[in-house]
Amino acid sequence: MSDKLYKALLFLTALIMPIVCGGVVYALVTDAYDAFEHFGFFKFLTSSDWNYTQGAEQYGALPFITGTLMTTLLALVFCIPFSLPVALFVGEYFKGTKAASVLGTITDLLAGIPSIIYGLWGFYTLRPLIMALNISPQGSGILTASMVLAIMIVPYAASLSTEFIKMVPNDLKEGAYSLGATRAEVVRKIIFPVAGSGIFSSYVLAIGRALGETMTVTMLIGNTNNIPDSITSTGNSMASIIANQFGEADDLRLSSLIAIGLILFLITAIINMIGKMMIKRARIS
């Protein structure tokens, strides 16, 4: 094969990415158009009605946007106290030891568990526990979903943060030790400030993961179409309303679900883009 032909072949194959991604946006936009046209873009975003009675159809995305944001942010809050110690364990305290590689394997395996199995575990183990502790009567809800979601994003946040903690130059750490700092002080005053932007960006990417997580949330969030009024109440996320109703929906409801899909796609894309940009910048400096 000549160099020219080879180059052309690679180029033509690479064309698949713009085609697929362009197709994604095009399909979402055209199929969501009905819903946006019918309710108005802004109204769709801010309405909290979800009524599919024939003749009185009314759809709005607000409860699901709220549900997604609540589960994601709560998951982030639960995730940090575990992912940060894991990152410090693997990237600083026990760097290069057997213990670190064992913990690394554990988090790798956690990352490999399919989300439907996380959902089952949450449903059959965590939910009864939450009921037994009288935290919420029905057991499922924002809180339950967030807790399992947190476990799911720990591996991502931890492995990225580890990378940045490892990158803190030894010169700086030794310099700080030579001035009489303890390890805890080196971590707090040297490692965190120096690796800070990288660690932060790894949490942004972890958020990007949590936003679109579908099965776990669908199985645990309680599936009610109202705006959750507390973290123990039930709700629906953007992904879970789609998973629940897509199969049975048609016409305007289908278009509304696709519109929610488009919003989810855009939010995820923006968060991921910000995260990637920040990571790139953190890697350079």
Partner 1 sequence: MESVKPILEFRKTCVSYTKQTMAVKYVSAAIEKNTITAIMGPSGCGKSTLLRAANLMHNLYQNIRVDGEILLNGENILSMEPIDVRRRVGMVFQRPAPFPTMSIYDNVLSGFALNGIKLSKAEKDATVERCLKSVALWDEVKDVLNKKGTFLSGGQQQRLCIARALAMKPDVLLMDEPTSALDPIATKHIEELLLELQKEVTILIVTHNMGQAKRISSKSMFMYLGELVEYGDTEAMFSNPADERTRAYLTGKMG
Partner 2 sequence: MTTTKIKSRLAKDKLMLWSICLFAALTAVPLLAILGEVLLRGYDQLSWQFFTEPTPTAYKAMKAIEAGEPIPGGIANGIVGTMIMLGMAVVFAVPTGILCGAYLAENTKNRFARIVSYLTDLLQGTPSVIIGIITYIWVVVPMKGYSAIAGSVALFIMMLPLIIRSTEETLKILPASLKEAGLALGGNKARVMLKVQLPAAFGGIFTGVLLAISRVIGETAPLMFTALGCSLVRWSIDKPISAVPLLIWEFFNDPNLQELIWGASLFLLLFVLTLNLTAKYLAKKWNQ
What's the min distance (Å) between Cβ of 97 and partner 1? 8
- Of 167-206, binders to partner 2 (CB under 8 A) are 182-185, 187
Does position 214 bind partner 2 by CB under 8 A?
yes
What binding mask, one character per residue, do residues 3-32 give for partner 2 by CB under 8 A, x or -? x-xxx-xxx-xx-xxx-xx-xx--xx--x-
DSSP states of 252-281 as a string?
HHHHHHHHHHHHHHHHHHHHHHHHHHHHHH
Q: Which of 92, 80, 96 is nearest to 199 (CA)?
A: 80
Q: Of the candidates 125, 175, 193, 196, which one interacts with partner 2 according to CB under 8 A?
A: 125
What's the min distance (Å) between Cβ of 56 and partner 2? 25
Q: Of the candidates 175, 229, 281, 283, which one interacts with partner 1 according to CB under 8 A?
A: 175
Does position 194 bind partner 1 by CB under 8 A?
yes
Q: Of the candidates 43, 189, 280, 283, which one interacts with partner 1 according to CB under 8 A?
A: 189
Does position 138 bind partner 2 by CB under 8 A?
no
Does position 281 bind partner 2 by CB under 8 A?
no
Residue 174 binding: pick among partner 1, partner 2, none (C-beta 5-8 Å cut-off by kind): partner 1
Exposed e or buried b for every residue in 255-282, given b needs 16+ CB within 10 A? bbbbbbbbbbbebbeebbeebeebbeeb
**H/E segment holding residue 103:** helix 98-112
- State how far the Cα of 172 lies from the Cα of 89, in Å rounded to an integer: 19
Q: Which of 204, 255, 240, 235 is nearest to 41 (CA)?
A: 255
